[in-house]
Amino acid sequence: MDFDFINEANLPKQANGMKIGAMEYRTVLVPNCRTLRKTTLDYLEAFAANGGKVIFVGEAPTLEDAVPSERGKKLAEKTSQIGWSEIRILNALEDNREVDLRNEKGERTPNVLYQLREEADCRWLFISHLNLVNNDYCAERELHTLHLKGEYVPELWNTLDGSVTELAAEYKNGQTLVTLPLYCHDSVLLRLTKGRSTQLAVEPSEYEAVGFACVECDIELAEPNVCLLDMPRYRINGGAWRDEEEILRITDTVKSELNLHNDIAGGAQPWVFSGENDETETVELEYTVNSAVSVENVCLALEDVEKCEITFNGKPVEKTVLGIYVDDSIQKIALGKLNEGKNIITIKKPCGPVTTFEACYLLGDFGVEAYGCKTKITAPVRKLSFGDQTRQGLAFYGGNVTYKFKLDTAKDMKLAIKHFAQPLCTVAVDGKRIATVAIAPYEASFESVEPGEHEIEITAFGNRFNTFGALHNADHNCKWHGPDSWRKEGARWSCEYLLRPTGILSAPMILKKAAE
C-alpha cells in the first residue's frame, strides 16, 4: 500500500480541493495525533465534505494548535475511526488498493516493495524484494499472482537484458491477474496499458538435477598470484632487531616510541595533513619468504617506492617501476629470482609524523600456502578442484580465475553454480560467453548451444578481501568496517590469517528438463 506524508506547515499553501500540490488524493489517514493545526482541521473538514475519505487511526486529537478542543473528536465521529493495528489499517484502505501480490497459498507476499507511476498513455509498476535472505543459493522459485485494479495489458521490461515481453493475464471482477515467477533477488518492471492481453499462459519448465561436474579443472589466472607480506622483523634507527609483528602494529609502536603523533591510525590519509613531515627517523623491515621451489621473475609491490632502500637476498634492488598492483599507490618493481629455501627482503624507510607503514605484496607465477601466521611459496597453480581456492595455492589471490573443463551439453540442459564466494561468475562455451551468473537461481542455460561435447569456461570474478582485508580481525560480529577494523586488541585480534573461502566452492550441478 503506497502513501505520502502530508506536511502540515505547507498544507495551506498546497491544498486545493482534493489535491495537495500536483497529487490528488481520495483518502487521508490521521495517525494517533494529539494535536492538529487549525489549518489542518479546516482542510480535513473540507476534504470530507467534498467526498474524501478521512480515517482517524487510534485516538482522535484532543488539541487544536496545542489548545484543548473538541473539533478533532467531532470530525472523527462524522468520518471514520479505527484501532491502531496494521490489519485494521489495511482493511480500512482496501478500497484504495491498486496493487496486491499474493503467493501460492493466497497469502499476501511479504518482503516486497512497489512503486506505481502514471503517465499519459500508461502506468509503470516496479516491484522489488526488500531484504536479503539467508542461504540464497538454496532459494527456490516463488510463484506469485499480481492483482491490479482495472484491466491492463502487462508488458515485462527486463532491466537485465533490455527485452520487452507481453505477459499473459486473466481478468476477473474488474481486476487484472498476472502470474509472476520470482526468485529472491528479482525485481519486476511492468508497463501497463489499458486493454486485455492476447498472450496465452505458458507454464514454466521444471528442471531436475541429474549430476555434478565433479572434475579437476585446468585454470587460468587473470593476474600474477600474490603472497601477502605483513609480518616483518623490524628495527628503529639502526637499533636491535625485534621479533616479527603485524605491520600496522609496528606503525603504532614506532610512532609511540619516537613521540610522533599517530592521527593516521584514526583513518585519515597522509595527504590530508598540512605542515611539515620531517622524516628524520628510519625504520627497517625484514621479510622472510620461505619457498619450496625456485621462481623466476618475481616482483615486489609496495607504497612509497621512491623513499625506500630495498635489498633482496643481500643485494640492492633497482627501483624501476614496472606498473601498479591494483591501486595507483602500490607500485611494482622487479626482484628477480626467488630461491628455493629462505629469501630475505629488507626495506629501509625514513619516518616522520605522518609516515605510514603498509603491507607489501610478492607477485609471480607460484602458489601460496598460508598456515597460522606463516606462508610458503609453492609450485605454480595450474589445476583446481571445485572448493576453497585458499587451500589450493591461492591463499591471498584476489583476481579472476577461469575454470576449464569438457562437458556434454544438450539444449534442455542447464548448469547451476550454486556455491561461489565471488561477486559473480560468467559461463562461456568454446570461448563464447553464454551467461552471467550473479543472482538466484545461479543458472546458465545451454539452449543456444549445439548438443555435444564442448569446452566450458567458468570465470569466477575476484574479490580483494584476502589480499587487502582485515585478515587479523577475529571479531566475527563486527558490523561496521572502517580503518579500526585493521587495528584490534585482545580477543578481537588474531596473529593468524583469518582467510575467507574464495572461488567456486562446490561442483556445478547439471540440470535437465523434467519429463512432462
> For residue 147, which of 184, 174, 110 has the smallest C-alpha distance?
174
Query: How much is the pLDDT for 275?
Result: 60
Distances from the Cα of 270 to the Cα of 1, 29, 330, angstroms:
50, 54, 15
- Report, as ranges of residue numbers, the positions in the chain whose pLDDT lies below 50: none
Rounded Cα distance, 491 and 497, in Å: 14
Only one residue has cell 497529487, namely 23
pLDDT per position as a tens digit, 420-432: 999 999 999 999 9
HEC letters along 310-355: EEECCEECCCCCCEEECEEEEEEEEEEEECCEEEEEEEEEEECCCC
User: 252 has which bridge partners?
Assistant: none
Query: How much is the pLDDT for 421?
Result: 93
Q: Give me the half-sphere count of Cα atoms (radius 13 Å) on the Cβ side of residue 414.
A: 20
Query: How much is the pLDDT for 3?
Result: 86
Rounded Cα distance, 209 and 305, in Å: 54
Q: Give me the half-sphere count of Cα atoms (radius 13 Å) on the Cβ side of residue 174.
A: 3
> For residue 414, which of 441, 443, 394, 383 has the smallest C-alpha distance?
443
State yes or no: cis peptide before 441, omega within 30 of 0: yes
Only one residue has cell 602458489, namely 367
- Global pTM reads 0.86
**Whether 311 contacts 346, CB under 8 Å:** yes
Query: How much is the pLDDT for 204?
Result: 79
Query: How much is the pLDDT for 268?
Result: 62
User: 444 has which bridge partners?
Assistant: 415
Position 257: which residue type? Answer: E
Query: How much is the pLDDT for 127?
Result: 96
Rounded Cα distance, 205 and 516, in Å: 9
Rounded Cα distance, 179 and 168, in Å: 8
For residue 202, count other CB atoms closer than 10 A to its CB.
9
pLDDT per position as a tens digit, 195-230: 999 999 888 788 899 999 999 999 999 999 999 999
